[in-house]
Chain A
């Protein structure tokens, strides 16, 4: 049981490049979400999904896209990276109807230069 797996753990991008942060969970959780964490700020929700084929925006969705084609995977796409997107990104998942709290991945540290 791997829980929530995020890849890569570290990434450096040049301004304007695109990339996809991967998130996979093996717990059959319906709900998945992406957060970013910046120094001096709490975690902020980017996008979330309550099941395959359903996504919605969080607090800070601009510059990011998501899709949910399977229950297991919830990739986050940066369309054209900007230095303001330098952050630590966390993926989290949970059951939709049973509230045992979220399981978080170990994070992706992204630097945009």
Chain B
């Protein structure tokens, strides 16, 4: 599985968009990009995933560059409840291979 690089921490003002970058320069053609978040002491929560195209759901948008070497998770209107550690993970999506490799993520602080 490809490794990912994320900034250690970021700040965002409440109500503004939070843009969380992720570098995955060694990603291969059949590896998906996943984003999860972990609010203090809770289990990780799935946010969104994508392969090539940009994706959007009720929680966030995922922008993947054309060469797929990086991506950005966008929380369009951050709230205090979005303060969490955000993990970017790439994983090969085939058969029984389910080994997500987790890094340390980005600690996002949403400030009032």
Contact = CB atoms under 8 A, between A and B. Distances in A.
The yes or no verdict on A and B being binding partners is yes
Nearest to A57: B99
B36 to A, nearest CB: 7
A19 interface: no
Contacts of B105: 42
Interface string B69-112: 00000000000000000010000010010111111110000000
Contacts, number: 53
Given A43-B44, A104-B44, A99 B102 contact: no
A107 B45 CA distance: 12
B98 A33 contact: yes
B101 to A, nearest CB: 8
B103 A42 contact: yes
Interface residues of A, number: 27
A4 to B, nearest CB: 8
A86 interface: no
Contacts of A44: 102
Contact of A45 (B43, B47, B49, B100): B100
Interface string A71-96: 00000000000000000001010100
Interface of A: 4, 31, 33, 35, 40-45, 48, 50, 56, 58-59, 90, 92, 94, 99-107
Interface of B: 32, 34, 36, 41-47, 49, 87, 93, 96, 98-105
